[in-house]
Chain A
Amino acid sequence: MDYLWLVIATIITVIAPFAVAVLAGIDRRITARMQNRVGPPILQPIYDLMKLLSKTKMLINKGQIILATLYVTMSILALWMFIAGADLLIIFFVLSAAAAFYTLAAYAVLSPFSQIGATRELIQVIAYEPVVLMVFFGVYLVNGSFSSAATDDMLILWLPLMFAAMILVLLVKLQKSPYDVAEAHTEIVGGPEVEYSGKFLGLVKVGHWYEAALAFAVISLFFGSPNIYVAFAGKLLLVFLALFIVILVDNSTARLRYGQMARVVLTYGLALTVVNALVVWAVQEGVIPWP
């Protein structure tokens, strides 16, 4: 095992939430410009986090905090494993664990908003997890292995439909309209997050940032190049492209009902990934001639 790479992965994992915070700030800025206004400074999410961490402590019960911490640790673990080059499947299961702990944390408080939010979070899980598994399968088809280590292959040329499916998943993960059903701010007042306050809300936010970091990292898998600088620039560009598409969709649509969300993400996501996988398999087997 390359221990130096593990150390690098640890460093990147520590910096990751700040990078995602900047991305979130850019997201808010671009959203503001789309709405013909100025918008907050780019570092606003970090100011938000600092403010949250400095509030006085307030919680409902300790179980909620324990489960929220488990959620955050699993998210951190998933990102660390990804950067360190672990098997994509074990990352998939760790993500599943993180989602389960987040939901359990929401169930641990007897608040109507929290419980409804928890159920919706579960429905989200059943909507995007099969799609993510199929996207990983697509990566396996092209790369020949489930390793998350970066390769030189331009996956997006092989897997454009899977990239589109991943955008759908990104919309759900980042809680963007039309699929922001779990958090559903004006509908169920924050859903699973409603009973967190101050430091603990900050903790959950950091957990969300790590999950977003992992989602973006999976997006960055789709670009590859032998030259490390080109690869880095390309991955960054792809992430910004994905972010821009997500912001555009967010600002142009209204929220769907949770049943609609599950149906759309599951059917379109699975359809896109299955078609792409079939085409890739056909090309690899020589059924479809490709130059």
Chain B
Amino acid sequence: MGGPGGGDPLALKSLIKSPWILHFDTGSCNGCDIEIFATLTPLYDVERFGILNAGNPKHADVLVLTGPVTQKTRSRLLNLYEMMPEPKLVMAVGDCACSGAPFVNAYNTMGGVDTVIPVDIYVPGCACRPEAVIDGVVKALEKLGKLAAGEPAPPAHKREVSDIPLEVYDPEAAAAKAKAATAAAKSAATKGAKDAPKEEV
């Protein structure tokens, strides 16, 4: 998995001329999102690179992500990523997306985008400035250029999550566990003294 696939030079060259982005917030504080929206305004004019904000993964080439990927957004992120056709790029914007900081060890986050999907470009910052975002885009296009010319380029990076102790939230298991706990509490209550107050379960 990872990075602009296919290796077809024509595909990559045409991608350089017209990268359409899909922006997705995986649980950020919206600071980086606001900066990304600012980047898309006429002041910074990213349309001169051919960048358009496609609302739909099927139309998009670059997935621009913010936020440290909470447990809930993980499946949605994977869904969107799979729905994007190759060749595609992933850009992690902001410190949270890059490495999860300061939420890296939290129980509810995965700790950065690259624990879920391979990332091509990291754009750090808190919040990340529009100029930095544009710089990241330029670096992405340069990487594509190198790949199109057949030169070596840094591959997309994915981290393994085994070093971060995380319990991935499974809604069904949690519901089953809750149900079992309630049943156990109920049977304990009925097994107890008759004068124990009836609980509303």
Contacts and interface: CB of A to CB of B under 8 A. Distances in A.
7 contacts: A37-B43, A38-B45, A56-B87, A185-B55, A194-B58, A195-B58, A198-B58
A48 B50 contact: yes
How many residues of A sit at the interface, in one of the four size bands?
20 to 34
A30 to B, nearest CB: 13
Question: In this complex, which of A37, A39, A186, A198 has the most chain B Cβ atoms within 10 angstroms of its Cβ?
Answer: A37
B45 A196 contact: no
- B interface: dominant SS: loop
A186 B55 contact: yes
A196 B59 CA distance: 8
Given A44-B50, A48-B50, A55 B55 contact: no
A271 to B, nearest CB: 36
A186 B56 CA distance: 10
B56 to A, nearest CB: 5
Interface of B: 5-6, 8, 10-11, 14-15, 17-18, 42-43, 45, 47-50, 55-56, 58-59, 61, 83, 85-87
A189 B18 contact: no
A201 interface: yes
B20 to A, nearest CB: 8
A190 B49 CA distance: 22
Given A37-B42, A40-B47, A197-B85, A190 B55 contact: yes
A62 interface: no
B42 A56 contact: no
Contact of B61 (A36, A51, A189): A51
A186 B53 CA distance: 10
Given A54-B8, A54-B11, A56-B85, A37 B47 contact: yes
Contacts of B45: 32, 37-39
A197 B58 CA distance: 5
A176 interface: no
Contacts of A40: 47-50
B56 A55 contact: no
Given A32-B45, A38-B48, A55-B86, A48 B18 contact: yes
Contacts of A195: 58
Given A35-B42, A190-B55, A54 B47 contact: no
B49 to A, nearest CB: 8
Interface of A: 28, 32, 35-41, 44, 47-48, 50-51, 53-58, 185-186, 189-190, 193-198, 201
Contact of A55 (B42, B47, B50, B85): B85
Nearest to A55: B85
- A interface: dominant SS: loop
Contacts of A201: 58-59
Contacts of A39: 45, 47-48
B48 A55 contact: no
Contacts of B15: 51, 54
B6 to A, nearest CB: 7
A55 B11 CA distance: 7
A36 B85 contact: no
A115 B199 CA distance: 49
Nearest to A195: B58
B48 A189 contact: no
A197 B47 contact: no
Given A39-B45, A44-B50, A185-B55, A198 B11 contact: no
A38 to B, nearest CB: 5
Nearest to B60: A197
Top 7 nearest A-B pairs (CB, nearest first) are: A54-B11, A47-B17, A197-B58, A37-B45, A51-B14, A50-B14, A35-B42
